[in-house]
Structure 1
Amino acid sequence: MLLQENLINKFKGKCERDIRISACMMYGSFTKGEGDQYSDIEFYIFLKDKQVHDFKSSDWLMDVEPYDLLFFNEFGTEVVVFSNLIRGEFHFLSESDMDIIKSFKDTGVFPDTESMFIYDSTGKLKGYLDFLKGDGPERKTNDNVNFAFNNLVNAWLMGVNILKRGEYARALESLSYVQKYVLQLIRIRENNVERWLNATKNLEYDLSEEAYAEYVSITSKLDEEELYRTYSNALHVVEGLVLVLADYYQFDINLKFLKKLHLQLTNWS
């Protein structure tokens, strides 16, 4: 049994024994059949409304498994690094907030909602999880394609301008946004959009060999010459995406506009 699976069982048992807990659900890799020895464990734990203010998550987590680090990340998620270096994400909410589960429908596909069910004393959790079943949101839309192209151009032009200024570290940071939107467009072209919000996940297996090579061509180390070459490569990849996607989607940019962007790199050799 994986260490993560052992922890999952421990938290399930803790929720079942603790009268303050109304319900618990899991999300992430282990609910999608993708969990392995490198995966996190991730939970939503719903408390009885009267217990929320006096509940100390730090004590509750330590009672299940020793940890070395506990903090809130930039998204407001409580992150714990257990002493065995397994990473966990926890959301402790009141029972009256359980309808937040419905908002997950817009984030992707949930192929096995039964595996998300951990514990419930309210009789409500299964209904909320059933709501998540079926197809996820439509990603292959004109709006999504146009949004990705426009934000790609914005990140590309900003990156090139600060690259010319000599801010190489910042240009590398901007390149990450170029990569994000290029990859979303590649996934649309490849008809592989299940991981739209986390587009690099499982990339080595999701994309064709040719598409993966395109992505590799727009990665760079912190080096002036390589950054210029990578930004140039990005434009060529974008041109190819425009040529293919224009037959299926409506968007603002075109090849004539991209030629103007190429001029921004004419002094680089």
Structure 2
Amino acid sequence: MLKQKQIIEAVQEACKQGEQVTSCMMYGSFTKGEGDQYSDVEFYIFIEASSFETFSSKQRVAKVAPYDLMFFNKYGTEVVIFSNLIRGEFHFLPASKLEIIKSFKPTGVFPDPDAMFIYDNTGMLRECLDYLGGIGPERMTDDNVTFAFHNFVNAWLLGINVLRRGELARSLEVLTYVQKYILQLLRINEQNVERWLNSSKNLEKDLSPEAYEDYALMTARLRKDELEQAYTHALMLTDRLRKQLEPFYVFDVDVKMIGKLRDYLNQIE
């Protein structure tokens, strides 16, 4: 049995034995049939309101499995590094916040509500999980194409400017945003948008070999020549995607804008 599944079972058992816990759901790879030995485990655990202020998340997690590190990340999620080096994410909320689950619907696809169910003594968790079932939000829209193009232009120009200034490290950081928005356009073009919000996940399997090669040409090490090549290819690819998407979508970036960016790039060289 995978170590992750052992932890999942331990979480379920700890919820059953914990009088303060009212409900628990899981999200992430294991709810989509994609979990493997490298996957995280991720949970929302709801606590009785009367006990929430005195509830100790560290004590609760310690009953699941030994851990070496537990801390809040920048999103307010409690991240746990278990002693077997499995990574976990835990959200502990008062039971009154259970309906927050329904707010997850716009974030993606939840194909199997039953796989998300861990524990419930309120009778209300199933309804919330069933609400998440079915197809996810429509991603292949004019607005999303426009959003990706606009944010690409913004990131690309920033990356080129800091590269021109000699800030290679910053340009390399900005390149990740350039890649993100082009990946969204590539996914729309290939009609593979399930991982819209995490566009690089499973990329090796999701994209066609040709699109994956285009992505590879947008990567670089911390070297000026490689960064210039990556930004150059990113602009060329965006112009190609503009032409391919234009018959199907109405968006706000045209050939004149791409040409202006190309001229600006040539001035740098």
What TM-score range do you get, normalising by the shorter chain? over 0.9
* 1:4 counterpart letter in structure 2: Q
Residue equivalent to 2:212: 212
Aligned counterparts, 1:247-262, within 5 A: 247-262=247-262
* 2:189 counterpart letter in structure 1: R
* 1:67 counterpart letter in structure 2: Y
Once the two structures are TM-superposed, the CA of residue 59 in structure 1 deviates from its matched residue by: 1.2
DSSP 3-state at the match of 1:252: coil
Residue equivalent to 2:266: 266
Residue equivalent to 1:85: 85
Aligned counterparts, 1:78-227, within 5 A: 78-227=78-227
* 1:224 counterpart letter in structure 2: K
1:239 to 2:239 alignment: yes
1:39 to 2:39 alignment: yes
Whether the 8 Å CA contact 2:164–2:268 is kept in 1: the answer is no
Residue equivalent to 1:68: 68
Once the two structures are TM-superposed, the CA of residue 267 in structure 1 deviates from its matched residue by: 4.3
Once the two structures are TM-superposed, the CA of residue 63 in structure 1 deviates from its matched residue by: 2.2
For structure 1, the residue ranges without an aligned partner over 5 or more in a row are: none
* 2:178 counterpart letter in structure 1: V
TM-score (norm 2): 0.98
For structure 2, the residue ranges without an aligned partner over 5 or more in a row are: none
Q: Distance in 2 between matches of 1:220 and 1:27?
A: 33
Residue equivalent to 1:14: 14
Residue equivalent to 1:59: 59
* 1:124 counterpart letter in structure 2: M
DSSP 3-state at the match of 1:36: coil
Kindly provide the CA deviation profile for residues 196-240 of structure 1, in whole angstroms up to 9, marking residues without a partner as x: 000000000000011101111111111001111111100110011
Q: Distance in 1 between matches of 2:162 and 2:231?
A: 12
The total of aligned residue pairs comes to 269
Say which is worse superposed, 86-95 or 55-64, in terms of deviation.
Answer: 55-64
Once the two structures are TM-superposed, the CA of residue 149 in structure 1 deviates from its matched residue by: 0.1
TM-score (norm 1): 0.98
Once the two structures are TM-superposed, the CA of residue 29 in structure 1 deviates from its matched residue by: 0.5
Kindly provide the CA deviation profile for residues 104-161 of structure 1, in whole angstroms up to 9, marking residues without a partner as x: 1001111111010001000000000000111111101111110110010000001101
Runs of 4+ in 1 over 3 A off after TM superposition: none
Q: Distance in 1 between matches of 2:60 and 2:14?
A: 9
